[in-house]
Amino acid sequence: MLVKSVQVTPGYTNFFMSEPSIFLKVTHKQALTPDVFMFDLAHPEGLSLPSFTPGAHITVKTPKGSHRHYSLCSSPNDADQWQIAIKREALGRGGSISMADGLLEGDLLEVLQCSNLFELHDAAKFHVFVAGGIGITPILSMIRHLLSQGKSNFKLYYCTRDALSTAFLEELKSPSLVDRVQLHHDHGDLQQALDFWPIFEQPIAADVYCCGPQGLMDSVRDMTGHWPSEHIHFESFGVPPTAFEQNTPFDIVLQSTGKRIHVGADVSILEALRSNGESVSSSCESGTCGSCRTGFMSGEVEHRDLVLLDDERRQNIMICVSRARSNELVLDR
Ligand code: FES
């Protein structure tokens, strides 16, 4: 996956270098489902927003002060407003609750960065989109972009629990999309999950984009193992909220200095390193880009990323999402 720097318009020269961040006004907030909330964001003085590419996400500071990434679901052609949609994760770390409950129309939202780890390959002959739940957001931006270009060379498979929990349902059932969208509801029953084998059994000249829960992405990855890997693209929204409930604290030890750092159940290794003054590279912070890859010398790792191959996992850990099962993990740094 490619990290693409974003073009900026005059007045935003430093925005995507993170200094300073910009504040956008929430011009509209709407509940799309009982737990998915859509926010329209605009410049408070009506200036045009920076350009971005389909699949991009922004990093925001939530009302409670934590940093979170949310995909832009608006069309890149709309320079007047950005749109994000957030699922309120009752079992998450609190970021989505802070956004869903605490961010109101008229509020200013601090946007720290915009980047794209899920780039649409515009020139592809055909695009197969697979979205699960709130994973529809970056894919909706891609679809809106393609439609704005007069293109209809795509098919979307959108998996949700039921119609009530399906965000953007009305738009996806509109005449311009109805033939290009297959909705699938599993009613919370794994036995009723969409069977991807008939879709991917015969590779075609297409790029595949998948965003959604871990189980759905694992399934698509399994079913596309015989496709050229460069045509299969994943975007993760990170670790499932239920995984945080199972987090336990542990210590990390830095091999080079012997420094010991405690990692609490509610922080990542990456966050613990940073709060102890250690400089760490990162980008997605959801286990998909590979930039926080770190070697480890000893300890037992619980791998939660989508990057490392099995043999790489014996000596490497993605410290933004993965954790230790043992009480201590010695890192090669
Ligand atoms: S920051 Fe992207 S995998 Fe960790």
Residue range 162-187: average pLDDT? Answer: 96
pLDDT at 5: 28
113 touches ligand 1 (CB under 6 Å):
no
pLDDT at 315: 96
Residue 210: pLDDT above 70? Answer: yes
Domain boundaries for CATH 2.40.30.10 within the chain: 15-115
Residue 174: pLDDT above 90? Answer: yes
Query: Are the CB atoms for 300 and 325 separated by under 8 Å?
Result: yes
Q: Tens of pLDDT along 141-165?
A: 999 999 999 999 999 999 999 999 9
Closest CA to 211 of 234, 239, 194: 234
Domain boundaries for CATH 3.10.20.30 within the chain: 245-331
Is the dihedral angle over the CA atoms 200, 203, 205, 211 positive or is it negative?
positive
127-235: CATH architecture = 3-Layer(aba) Sandwich (3.40)
Lowest mean pLDDT among 111-115, 130-134, 165-169: 111-115
Per-residue pLDDT band for 239 (boundaries 50, 70, 90) equals low
Domain boundaries for CATH 3.40.50.80 within the chain: 127-235
Of all atoms in ligand 1, which is nearest to the CA of residue 318? 4
Of all atoms in ligand 1, which is nearest to the CA of residue 284? 2
Q: Which residues pair with residue 158 across a beta bridge?
A: 131, 183
Q: Tens of pLDDT along 59-78?
A: 898 998 877 889 999 999 99
245-331: CATH architecture = Roll (3.10)
Mutate which of 284, 308, 312, 331 for ligand 1? The one with the most ligand atoms within 8 Å of its CB, which is 284
The reported pTM is 0.74
CATH superfamily of 15-115: Translation factors (2.40.30.10)
